[in-house]
Each structure stands twice: as C-alpha cells, then as structure tokens.
Amino acid sequence: MAGQRTRHARVGLVRGAVAGLVAGAVFIGFEMWFATSLGEPAQAPLEMISLVASTAGIEPRGLTPASTGWIIHGLLSAGFGATFSFFATYLRTSG
C-alpha cells in the first residue's frame, strides 16, 4: 500500500512539473508578445530572467542571456508546478 502511494505521489509530481512547464511556456509567450507590443525586443523578458543568475555570480559560459533565461524560467516553472501538485495531492478533500 505504501509503495502504491509513493508511486502515485511520484506520478503526481511529474504531472505537476509538466503542467508547470506548459503553463510557463504560455506565460513567457505572453510576456514576449507584450514586450514586442511595447517596442522592446522579444527576448527582453528572458534577458531580465537571466539576471537572476548573473547577480548570483553564476554566469554559465557559452550561453546567451536569452538561453539562460529559458533555462531558469523552465526550472522555476517545473518547480512551482511540482510543488503545487504535491500540495494538491496531499491536501485534497474527499468531498
């Protein structure tokens, strides 16, 4: 019984991470559209997200700021999705 519950929780976390990635992709798509509607380049939101890594002193070599922004945004989206899935799985009611 405990093994099945652990497997169910693991599947829920993976589903949450995937859902977070999808939601994050939609969100960054709207951010990029909004930036272009204001006359900014489409990669401006990604470059702002990449500042998280550069201010922490973790500048990956060989990556552009936009690709670093994609990586950070994807990790955060997956993390938020998995966290939400974890709490939704354990706090749901039977009603």
| Structural contact between residues 20 and 84, judged by C-beta atoms closer than 8 angstroms | yes
How far, in Å, CA of 95 to CA of 77, rounded?
A: 29
**Full-prediction pTM beyond 0.75?**
yes
| Structural contact between residues 80 and 20, judged by C-beta atoms closer than 8 angstroms | yes
Tell me, what's the pLDDT at 91? 74
Residue 63 tokens read as 């990556």
Mean pLDDT by 10-residue block, N- to C-terminus, for the chain (95 residues)? 68 91 95 95 90 72 83 94 86 63
How far, in Å, CA of 44 to CA of 73, rounded?
A: 13
